[in-house]
Amino acid sequence: MEDKGTPVGRRVVLGMLGLGALGVAFGSRAQDGLDSALSQVAGKDPTGLSGLLPGGGGFRIYNVANSVPHRDATDYRLTVSGLVDRKATHTLADLRAMPQTRLVRDVQCVTGWRVPGTPFEGVRLSHLLDLAGVQDGAGAVRFTCFDGVYSESLTLEQARREDVLVALRMQDKPVSTAHGGPVRLYVAPMYFYKSAKWLSGIEVTRDVRPGYWEHYGYEVDAWVGRSNGRHDDPTS
Amino acid sequence: MTPRPERVRRFTRGERRVHRATAALMLVCLVTAAALYLPPLAELVGRRRLVVAVHEWSGIALPLPALLGLASRAFRRDLRLLNRFAPYDRDWLRDALRRVPRDRRAAGKFNAGQKLYASFAAGAVLVMLGTGLLMMFPHLSGVVWRTGATFVHDWLALAVAAVVAGHLWMAADDPQARLGMRTGFVTPEWARRRHPRWEYAEPGETGEPGPPDTGA
C-alpha cells in the first residue's frame, strides 16, 4: 500500500535535472541580467549582505598561500632588481612620496565576477622602471609577492602602459591586507589575476616567465575580453 | 490486542551507513564551499588549490554511498517508499502549510516533507555533480556553458545550504527521529504518533498495527 501512488520523487529529480540543464544553457544570460540588478541593490545595501550572492558585485578573495601575510609601513619593502642600472629598495613612505595616479575602472575576474567602477591609486609602474633605468636587452618584468608563492609577469611594453599601477589605495582606502595590502599591482586592462597582491619584488628580465595561475592554464597575455576564451567588455 | 513490541526497526545498519557517509561528504562539500566562496573565510583559510581539490573529490564521491546502498534490499525498499506519494501525503503538505500540529498529520514511514527532501537532495547532488564537472574541465565546454554551470552551481549551493540547515533543524527538534537514525530503532508509540500509516512489521506480529488515532 505504502509503495503505491504517484512517483513524485522521480518527477522532482527529473525536473531538477531539466532545470539544471536549462540553467547551464541560459545561465550565462540570466547572470548578466542579475549582475546589473544586484549591483544596483548592492550600491544601496548598507549591510553588504547582497555582495555575498552570486554576482552580487562584490570582490571574492582568492589566496593561494597557506596564510594571509601581513606587512605594514614599518616592515614593508619593495625591491626593484634585474636588468636595471640602479637597483632600489622602496619603503611605503618612499612610494607615497612619488607622483600618484588614480584610475577608476571595472575589475573583471577570469572566473566571471565583475566589480564596477573601482578606484585604484598609486605609482605608475613605468615611473619605478624609469627611476631604476631599464637596460638594453630587457624584455619583461616579473613580480614576486611576500606571500612567498604568487608571481606574475608582464612584457616590458605592457608594464610601461599608463594604466598599470603599483597601487597603494583601493576603493579610496589604503589597500587592505585581504586585498593584497599594503601594496599590490593593478593591471587595469587585464583579468584580475594579473594584479598580484602583496607585491614585494619587481625584477626586470629578458623574457616573460609565466606566473602562478599561468602554470595552471591561464593565459599570460590576459587582456579582458580577448583571452582565456572569454568575451567580457574591456576594462581599460 | 497483540502485545506491543518494545521497539520498531526503522533503518538497517547498511542504511545508516549510507546516511552517515552521505552526510559527512555533504558537510565537507558545504564547509569547503564556504571557504572558497565567503571572502572572510577564504581569507582565513587560504590554501585555495587544496580546498578546491577537497571540494571536487568529496563532491564526486557524494553519490557513491547511495549507489553502494542499492545492494541493500532495505535501502531499495525505502527508496520506493520515498518515491511514491499517497493521497495522505498531499494532505500532509496542505496541513503543514496550515500549521496543523505534526501529530495530527497522516504519514507513512516517511512523511511528505521527508519525501520531498530526499528527492530534492538526490536531484541537487546530480545537478551539482554535473555542473561541477563542467567547471572542473572548462575545456570540454564553451565559455557560455561554463558560465551557465557556475550560475547553476552557485545558486543551487545556496538552496542546498538552506535546505540542509532545515533538515538539521527538523532533526534537532525530534530526538526519536535522531535515535532512529543513530540506533536503527524507534519506539512504537512514536511510530504510531508521527507515522500512523507506516506498515512496519515486527517478528511475531503480522503487521497492520492499525493505529487508533490517525485523525485522518
Neighboring chain B residues of A229 at a CB cutoff of 8 Å: 138, 142-143
The helix or strand, by DSSP H or E, that contains position A232, with its residue range, turns out to be: none
Work out the number of other CB atoms within 10 angstroms of the CB of residue B13.
11
* pLDDT recorded at residue A126: 97
Cβ-defined contacts of B167-176 (< 8 Å, 24+): B167/B117, B170/B113
A46-99 pLDDT, tens digit each: 666 666 666 555 677 777 776 667 888 999 999 999 999 999 999 999 999 999
Residue B211 has pLDDT above 60, yes or no: no
Are B199 and A24 an interchain contact pair (Cβ–Cβ within 8 Å)? no
Are B46 and A66 an interchain contact pair (Cβ–Cβ within 8 Å)? yes
Neighboring chain A residues of B43 at a CB cutoff of 8 Å: 61, 63, 68, 178
How many contacts does A have with B, using Cβ atoms within 8 A? 150
Residue B96 has pLDDT above 60, yes or no: yes
Are B46 and A25 an interchain contact pair (Cβ–Cβ within 8 Å)? no
Neighboring chain A residues of B144 at a CB cutoff of 8 Å: 28
* pLDDT recorded at residue B214: 39
**CA–CA distance, A164 with A160 (Å, rounded to integer):** 7
Tell me the pLDDT band of B205, cut-offs 50, 70 and 90. Answer: very low
How much is the mean pLDDT over chain B?
Answer: 87
Residue B210 has pLDDT above 60, yes or no: no
Tell me the pLDDT band of B209, cut-offs 50, 70 and 90. Answer: very low
Find which of B79, B127, B128 to mutate to test the A interface (most A CBs within 10 Å of its CB).
B127
Find which of A1, A3, A198, A227 to mutate to test the B interface (most B CBs within 10 Å of its CB).
A3
**How does DSSP assign A100-148, residue by residue?**
PEEEEEEEE-TTS-EEEEEEEEEEEHHHHHHHH-BPTT--EEEEEETTS
**CA–CA distance, B153 with B134 (Å, rounded to integer):** 10
**CA–CA distance, A210 with B196 (Å, rounded to integer):** 67
Domain boundaries, chain B: 8-194
Question: Across A67-71, B53-57, B98-102, which has the greatest mean pLDDT?
Answer: B53-57
Omega of the bond prior to A210 within 30 degrees of 0, cis?
Answer: no
The helix or strand, by DSSP H or E, that contains position B61, with its residue range, turns out to be: helix B48-61
A9: nearest CA partner in chain B: B83
Helix (H, G, I), strand (E, B) or coil at B191: helix
* pLDDT recorded at residue B151: 86
| CATH number listed for the domain at residues A77-216 | 3.90.420.10
Work out the number of other CB atoms within 10 angstroms of the CB of residue A93.
9
Neighboring chain B residues of A113 at a CB cutoff of 8 Å: none
DSSP assignment letter at A54: T
* pLDDT recorded at residue B128: 97
B25 vs chain A: nearest CA distance in angstroms? 20
Of residues B91 and A34, more confidence is placed in: B91
**CA angle at residue A59 from A37 to A232, to 5 degrees?**
65
Is-contact A85 A133, C-beta < 8 A? yes
Are A112 and B150 an interchain contact pair (Cβ–Cβ within 8 Å)? yes
Mean pLDDT of B6-15: 93
Residue A13 has its nearest CB partner, among B122, B130, B198, at: B122
Mean pLDDT of B164-185: 95
What is the complex's ipTM, to 2 decimals?
0.85
Tell me the pLDDT band of B212, cut-offs 50, 70 and 90. Answer: very low
B106 vs chain A: nearest CA distance in angstroms? 12
Are B151 and A23 an interchain contact pair (Cβ–Cβ within 8 Å)? yes
Find which of B152, B153, B160, B208 to mutate to test the A interface (most A CBs within 10 Å of its CB).
B152
Residue A23 has its nearest CB partner, among B77, B118, B148, at: B148
* pLDDT recorded at residue B213: 41
B135 vs chain A: nearest CA distance in angstroms? 10
Is-contact A154 A171, C-beta < 8 A? no
* pLDDT recorded at residue B204: 45
* Bridging pattern class, strands A77-82 and A88-91: antiparallel
Residues spanned by CATH 3.90.420.10 within chain A? 77-216
Neighboring chain A residues of B156 at a CB cutoff of 8 Å: 20
* pLDDT recorded at residue B127: 97
Residues of chain A with pLDDT under 70: 1, 32, 35-58, 66-68
Are A2 and B81 an interchain contact pair (Cβ–Cβ within 8 Å)? yes
Calculate what percentage of chain B has a pLDDT beyond 70. 88
CATH 1.20.950.20 is right for the domain spanning B8-194: yes
**CA angle at residue A51 from A165 to A223, to 5 degrees?**
35
Distances (CA, A) of B5 to A2, B177, B186: 21, 18, 11
* pLDDT recorded at residue B208: 42
Is-contact B128 A19, C-beta < 8 A? no
Tell me the pLDDT band of B54, cut-offs 50, 70 and 90. Answer: very high
Question: Across A156-160, A176-180, B6-10, B142-146, which has the greatest mean pLDDT?
Answer: A156-160
Instruction: Label residue A191 exposed, middle or buried (CB < 10 Å: 0-12, 13-18, 19+).
Output: buried
Tell me the pLDDT band of B48, cut-offs 50, 70 and 90. Answer: confident
The grid cell for B215 is: 485523525
Mean pLDDT of B134-153: 79
A14: nearest CA partner in chain B: B123
